[in-house]
Amino acid sequence: MKQQAIKFEFREAKNRENYIVGNSNANAIKWIDKYPNWKNSGLIIEGPKSSGKSHLVSVWQNKSNCSIFSSEQVNREEVNASDNNNLAVENLEHIRNYEFFLHLINFKKEKKLKYLLTTSQSITSLNISLSDINSRLLELPKVKITLPSDDLLKGLIIKLLKDKGIIITTKLLDYVITRIERSYEAVNLFIEDLNKISLEKKKNISISLIKEVIEKDY
């Protein structure tokens, strides 16, 4: 009979000191650190799925006391457009209620507030039907998070496992790095699967366990 995994809740670390920095994301965190000295009304962060954009939003919230909303909340107008808080909107590519979104960012600009937008697609590739939105977005500074280097992958794996209460050895880390796909999403999925199987089998992280996960899913 398959052993049911018992899930323990560990809080994901999303403070500035927990953000793993490498060449691929250094520019993004520099912009966050620059706040409140932004010349423009806002900033757009473009990056692949699971690349730490939400972590950056959380870091910025600690600095700016912003309100954070998803694209779906914007689409449903579940946002108080006239509050006096800075604003962060995640997954910009899924916004469809352009009129409300335009009203939202125009209000923030008029009140000299700041807004942070994240997206997994480049702004130029978004098919936005409202020209006023396009012009607003194109005038904003944009920073890109690119695919991670080995050093950043190592740091990310250590951080994600630590979030789950697991410490990985250098030997095991080197083994993973040479075999896993170089993407943020793949690393996140790998860690989730590794943790799940470790709990189900009541085994510590080992090369044989890592090999099992890699051969199963990757």
Residue pair 42/106 in contact by the 8 Å Cβ criterion: no
So what CATH class is 25-144?
alpha beta
CATH topology of domain 150-217: Helicase, Ruva Protein; domain 3 (1.10.8)
- Residue 93 CA to residue 125 CA, distance in Å, equals 9
Ranges of residues in the chain with a pLDDT under 70 are: 1-13, 217-218
- Residue 111 CA to residue 108 CA, distance in Å, equals 5
Residue pair 165/13 in contact by the 8 Å Cβ criterion: no
pTM score, two decimals? 0.82
pLDDT of residue 45: 98
Task: Give the whole-number percent of the chain exceeding pLDDT 90.
Answer: 73
- Secondary-structure percent of the chain, ordered helix, strand, coil, rounded to 5: 50, 10, 40
Residue pair 145/53 in contact by the 8 Å Cβ criterion: yes
pLDDT tens-digit map of 50-107: 999 999 999 999 999 999 999 999 999 999 988 999 999 999 999 999 999 999 999 9
Q: Where are the domains of the chain?
A: 25-144, 150-217
- The tokens describing 205, both together, are 């992280």
- Residue 28 CA to residue 35 CA, distance in Å, equals 12
- Residue 111 CA to residue 69 CA, distance in Å, equals 19
- Residue 157 CA to residue 149 CA, distance in Å, equals 12
- Residue 60 CA to residue 65 CA, distance in Å, equals 8
- Residue 44 CA to residue 144 CA, distance in Å, equals 9
Domains 25-144 and 150-217 belong to one CATH topology: no
Q: Tokens 């009129």 belong to which residue?
A: 99
CA distance readout (Å), 188 to 50, 76, 93, 192: 7, 29, 21, 6
